[in-house]
Amino acid sequence: MKHRSIQRPWRFTALVSGVVVACLAGVVVAVVRAMPDGGGEPQPGAAATGPAADGAAPSSAARPVPPSPQPPRCTAAAAISELPIRQRLAQLLMVGVDASGPAEARKAVSSEQVGGIFLTGDATALLTGGALERLQQAATIPVAVAVDEEGGRVQRLENLDGKLPSAREMAQTMTPRQVYELALQRGEAMRDRGVTVDLAPSVDVSDQPDNAVIGDRSFSDDPVVVTRYVDAFAQGLRDSGVLPVFKHFPGHGQGDGDSHSGAVTTPPLDELRRLDLLPYQRVLNPQSAVMLGHLDVPGLTEPGTPASISPATLALLRDELGFDGLVLTDDLAAMRAITDRVDLPEAVRQSLAAGVDMALWITSEELDEVLDHLEQSIADGSLPEQRVNEAVGNVLAAKGVDPCAVRG
C-alpha cells in the first residue's frame, strides 16, 4: 500500500517557521538577561544600557578619534620669504676669490654666506686636498663654485687636468661628438674636485683674429656652426653635473672694442637678430645659465646703460626668448665698460633690479659695502623685495637646493 505524501500549503510552512524562530529568540533573550554581566558588550544597533544610557560619556573605544593636525605645507615662496633679508641678498652674489689659498674663500662664505665663489688665478690649492669640501661645511646653503674653463686662452685647470684647445680649434679639428666627450670628461674632473659651474661656452659669433678680445674664444663666424658646437660642449657639461653658462649675451662677437678697457657698442638689435642671437634661440636650456655682457646695443639698451644692467636686455632674454634659468652678469668690478659709469654697489643693485639673478665680480672686496647698499635699497624701495625673492628662487634652483630644506 503506497502512502500519499502530504503537501502542506506554503503559508502553513511559513507560519510554523515563524513560530519556531520566535520561540528560539525568546529563549536567547532570557538566557542573556540571566547572565551576571549583562551578556558582554552591546551589539551595534542595540539599545544602550548602563552609564551611557544615563547621559554619561561613552567609553574610549566608542569615542571617535579626531585626525592629527597636519603641519602647514611648505611652499618655496614662503620658505624663501622667511630667510633673513641679508642672507637672501648674499645668495645673489658670486665673488671672485684667489684660488692660490683658501683663506679669502673661507672668509667670504663664513662671514656673509655668499651664494657663489669664482676661482681666479691658479686653482690648484682650492681644488686639491679637500679644501672645497671644508668650505662647503661652513656654508648654511651650498655654495656655487665657478671657474672659467673655456679652453685656449681661458682655462683654470690646465695644471691639474691638462690643456683644452680653444673653441675655434675645436670647431676646426673635432666633430661635435668629440667636443661633447671632451666637455663631459673635463666636467667630470671639475665635479670631482668640487666645481659646480663653468663660465663657458662662449656663444659669440665672430670672425675676429685669434688674439682679439673674442677671437678664438668663438667657435665660428657661422651661427649654425656655433650652435652645433656650443650645444655639444654644454651638453657634455650638463651630463657631468656641471652647470654651463652661455656668454656673452646678447652677443660680443661683433662688438667694437674690449669691455675690460672701455665701452663696447655692438651692431643694432635687428642685425643681432640675424646673426648673434640665432644660436641662443636653439641652445637655451633650463639646465644652463646665461651671462650678460657689458654691451651697448642700439635699439635695445638705454643710452649709457650696458646690457648687464638693462631691463630691456632681460626682457629680450626672458620674454622674447623664453629663458627662465639663472642669469649672471659679467665682472662688475674690473671692466671699464661698467666701472666708468657706476660704482660697484650701485652696479650690483641695478643689475638685480633689472632682472639679473646673480651679480659677479672678480674679488671679494667691498662685500660688506655691497650688502649694506642692497639692504638700504630694499628699505627705500629701489630694489623690490619680490624681485630679490624671485632671484633667490632661481639661484637655489640652479644649485639644486630645496628652499624648504633651508627654512629658518
Residues 82-97: pLDDT tens digits?
Answer: 999 999 999 999 999 9
199 belongs to a structural domain: yes
Residue-wise pLDDT tens digits, 302-351? 999 999 999 999 999 999 999 999 999 999 999 999 999 999 999 999 99
Q: Check 239, 258, 260, 372 and give the catalytic one.
A: 260
Contact status, residue 93 vs residue 370, Cβ threshold 8 Å: yes
Structural domain of residue 398, as residue ranges?
Answer: 82-405
Among residues 198, 330, 331, 357, which one is catalytic?
Answer: 330
Please indicate whether residue 294 is annotated as part of the active site: no
What is the reported pLDDT for 123?
A: 76
Q: Is the pLDDT of residue 283 over 50?
A: yes
The three-point CA angle 390-394-400 to 5° equals 140
In whole angstroms, how far apart are CA 49 and each of 35, 61, 62, 226, 276? Answer: 15, 16, 14, 88, 89
For residue 184, tell me if it sits in a domain: yes
| pLDDT greater than 90 at residue 270 | yes
Which residues are paired to 296 by β-bridges?
Answer: 265
Rounded distance, CA 77 to CA 6, Å? 87
Return d(Cα 288, Cα 323) in angstroms, integer.
10
380 classed as catalytic: no
CA 225 to chain centre: 30
Instruction: Indicate the pLDDT class of residue 260, thresholds 50, 70 and 90.
Output: very high
Give the C-alpha separation, 351 to 366, whole Å: 16
Q: Is the pLDDT of residue 166 over 70?
A: yes
Tell me whether residue 61 is in a domain. no
Q: Provide, rounded to the nearest whole percent, the portion of the chain with pLDDT above 70.
A: 82
Render pLDDT for 208-236 as a digit per residue (tens, 0 to 9).
999 999 999 999 999 999 999 999 999 99
The answer to whether residues 153 and 96 touch, using CB atoms and an 8 Å cutoff, is no
Is position 125 within any domain?
yes
CA gap 60, 25 in Å, rounded: 31
What is the pLDDT of the chain when averaged over all its residues? 86
Backbone phi, psi, residue 145, to 5°: -115, 115
Average pLDDT over every residue of 125-130: 88
Residue 13 lies in a domain: no
Has residue 42 been placed in a domain? no
Residue 357 included in any domain: yes
Q: In total, how many domains does the chain have?
A: 1
Domain CATH number, residue 257? 3.20.20.300
* Structural domain includes residue 25: no
pLDDT at 381 exceeding the cut of 70: yes
Buried residues in 4-21 as b, exposed as e (16+ CB within 10 A): eeeeeeeeeeeeeeeeee
